[in-house]
Amino acid sequence: MKAKHQRLILALAALVALIGAGLLAASALKDEAAYFYAPNDVKTKGVEPGKAIRLGGMVVKNSLKRAPDGVTIHFNVSDGKATVPATFSGIAPDLFKEGSGVVAEGSFDAKGTFIATNLLAKHDERYMPRELEGMNYNETTHEMKAER
Amino acid sequence: MGRLDRQSAVIAAADDFTCLSPLAKCPTGLRPFARLKTGLMHRFANPARFLKIARPLTGWLFWPGLLLLLAGCACGLFLTPADYLQGDTVRILYIHVPAAWLGMGGWSGIAIAALMQLVWRHPLAAIAGRAIAAPGALFTAICLATGSIWGRPTWGTWWEWDGRMTSMLVLLFLYLGYIALANASARQGQTMGQGGVSNVTAIFGLVGAINIPIINRSVVWWNSLHQGPSITLRGSSIDMALLWPLGLTLLGFSLWFGAIVLMRMRAILAQNKVEARMQRLARG
């Protein structure tokens, strides 16, 4: 075996070990490296009240209500499996609206309502011109269909 | 290995070696022996042969690349419609996406060059790794900056420590570390051949490549603020009306990146030539 081949085998073995280590680390980090809790994570794992977390999901349609004071809003956050009520006082980002993604920073109160101290709008991977707004997007075929 | 074979291999190695020193003229009589061992990869270990192709190729990458990326930017600014949700902010994608692609592609190039350097002792690979590092770092920084500018109006924040952003920032630090390591080893004369990177730097380049799949998968593995991949093998969730200038800027920036890398490789080879001449003059 030539020295060149030895080096090749060594380098490839090192690469395989490295990628394996990376994958192991990534899978071990799976929960720790998550940027936010989804409502279903909250339901299954349980988050104690008062612990500062981020809650992410979709703002449920027709759940957004503005309190009489004008700055407090109440809305529900859902990931399709579970729904959590949330409330926020302050100025929400422009892209925050019903049916789109949100990441809220804050903590749960004793009654299980999420008290947000900061709201971030989460954008999804869809980009389209304004004319196409109100069309339905098919996740698997990447096609747009007019909403009925 | 027969005696004759070994003899020709020694001569061929000597031929390659003398050709590496840009000043030495390869004795033409030895050329056929050199061909015995040169595969396609080793053909371009010879700087003279490499330069013969690199010189015209630089222009062929630079000008069409510049034209395409300017055209793509102009189309993206003036011809495409605004996004239904983000409005005009969406147009930053025509810079952001190529910058991200080249930041990650640059490190992939460094890793491939590192493998060629460590396994085959390819002298031009060592130079290529060094040439890629600076533009790669630049495009990574552009990606982070444009992403931050986009994030403020869209998400409501300049910066968040989510998986995608953090791993991309790590890539920038890897580039800076690679450049520092390459420069330090060059000052101490530990580089492979002239003007390349040291073997330690190459190992660093290879190890750092583990970050590339992590960046790519970060939005799939972990909940992140950054949206998931828009363009996948199954298609694109960016509407065609918004997507097409991205093809122009992606290709344009990529060609331009190639031109910059070739220019830097040529500059390093020219620097070697200058240094060799200075040493010869000093020796008298």
Looking at residue B35, its pLDDT comes to: 47
From chain B, pick out residues whose CB is under 8 angstroms from the CB of A127: 83, 86, 90, 93, 230, 237-239, 242-243
pLDDT of residue B225: 85
What residue of A is the nearest CA neighbor of B80?
A: A129
pLDDT over 60 at B5, yes or no = no
The verdict on ipTM greater than 0.85 is no
Residue A38 is classified by DSSP as -
The three-state secondary structure class of B191 is coil
Out of B85, B162, B207, name the one closest to residue A95 (CB).
B85
Beta-strand ranges (E) seen in chain B are: 231-232, 235-236
User: Inter-chain contact A18–B238, Cβ cutoff 8 Å?
Assistant: no
Question: Which pLDDT value is given to residue A148?
Answer: 42
Contact assignment for B160 to A120 by CB distance below 8 Å: yes
pLDDT number for residue B203 = 92
Q: Among partner residues A26, A36, A100, which is closest to B214 by beta-carbon distance?
A: A26
pLDDT per residue rounded down to tens, chain A (148 residues): 688 888 888 888 888 888 888 888 877 777 677 788 888 888 888 888 888 888 988 888 888 888 888 788 999 998 888 899 999 988 888 788 888 888 898 999 888 899 999 888 888 777 777 666 665 656 566 565 655 4
The residue to which tokens 């020219």 are assigned = B270
Average pLDDT over residues B280-284: 87
Q: Identify the pLDDT of residue A133.
A: 63
Residue A132: list chain B partners with CB under 8 A: 84, 239
| Model confidence at B17: pLDDT above 70 | no
Packing angle between helix B93-120 and helix A3-29, nearest 10 degrees?
A: 140
| Identity of the residue in B83, B119, B225 whose CB atom sits nearest the CB atom of A128 | B83
Is the pLDDT confidence value at B267 over 90?
A: yes
Question: Is the Cβ pair B239, A129 closer than 8 Å?
Answer: yes
The pLDDT value given to residue A2: 81
**Per-residue pLDDT tens for B115-161?**
999 998 888 999 999 999 999 999 999 999 999 999 988 888 899 88
**Side chain identity, residue A88:** F
Size of interface A-B (CB pairs under 8 A): 130
Q: What are phi and psi of A81, to 5 degrees?
A: -110, -35
pLDDT at residue B206 is higher than 60: yes
pTM (2 d.p.): 0.80
Helix, strand, or coil here: A28? helix
What is the predicted pLDDT for the residue at B149?
Answer: 93
What is the average pLDDT score of chain B?
Answer: 84
